[in-house]
Amino acid sequence: MCRHDLVVTNPPFSKKYEVLDWLLNHHPKPFAMLVPLTMLVSRKFRAVPNSETLQLVLPSHRINYMTDGAVVRGCSFDSVWLCHGLDLTRDVMWEAPAKAVKAVAPRPAE
């Protein structure tokens, strides 16, 4: 049996709605899920049960993703962390800019 306290994920973009539904409605642990910001304005997102319980963390800059282990610069979209069960102090938070560290996330396989 897998033991963990928190799920942090960057799911394949083609599976983001299914992963969100599973995490929100079938998984008891808190989570943070990195997704494209445009997901928030989609009909599919609004149709996910309990999506209104999410809290958001907006990065201070665009996330650069990785493909085959190499950073792809110049991402054309913004990302957002969808959080649940983390008891953040506000429902929408802006990440403070980091001077020395830039976020890089592996690009999900489609």
The 10s digit of each residue's pLDDT in 56-86 is 999 988 888 877 888 877 888 999 999 999 9
In the chain, the amino acid numbered 16 is K
d(CA 49, CA 8): 20
Q: What is the mean pLDDT of the chain?
A: 85
d(CA 74, CA 62): 8
Contacts of 61 (CB under 8 A, 6+ apart): 97, 102, 103
CB atoms within 10 A of CB 26: 7
Map out the domains of the chain as residue ranges: 7-106
* Full-model pTM: 0.80
